[in-house]
Amino acid sequence: MKLLQTCRSTLFIILSVFAAGSLAEPGQAIATFAGGCFWCMEPPYDELEGVISTTSGYTGGEVDNPTYKQVSRGKTGHTEAIQIVYDPERVSYQKLLDVFWLNIDPTNANGQFCDWGTQYRSEIFYHDAEQQQLASKSKASLEEMKPFKEPVVTQVTAATTFWPAEDYHQDYYQKNPVRYKFYRYGCGRDKRLEELWGDSK
């Protein structure tokens, strides 16, 4: 009986780890960011040297194994997010934070750009004490710098289970470049980013 319970516990841990998204190998690290539509958050990180992979998914909610249909209704508590596997010897977490801020609207507490609802909120999900410290310091620095009038409302919270999104969402900007560009333009994302960040972007 004890052996069976141990096997079940081990299996649960393994399944939980796989559900959490991309697995980092020794020498690699994980970062998780929410910045509205996850399609739009993959490209700026895929371009960074030292980033090994990006995965679109859902996190910060209460429902196990949520679907896009469930999350998009805004009833599960999740937000669209990306999980990044990176080599900290080649790209720092601070650099990932810098890219994050320049690709979101940190003044919107209830969505991003044309997408409204908490399922599109911006949020930094830290995985350890160092990430928490760096993220909090980065946010404080942005608040002190005040590049725009509105307050910074992006939250910094502990990472919870990350559920990878359906396959058709992964690398959407590469699989469907025309539809992606049309959505991004129609959503006014780049226009708003230019208003917020100007030449910094």
Q: Which residues are catalytic?
A: 37
CB 61 within 8 A of CB 120: no
- Give phi and psi for 169, each to the nearest 5: -85, -25
Q: Residue 122: CA atoms inside 13 Å, Cβ hemisphere, count?
A: 20
Q: CB atoms < 10 A from the CB of 128, how many?
A: 13
Q: CB atoms < 10 A from the CB of 198, how many?
A: 10
* Residue 24 DSSP one-character state: P
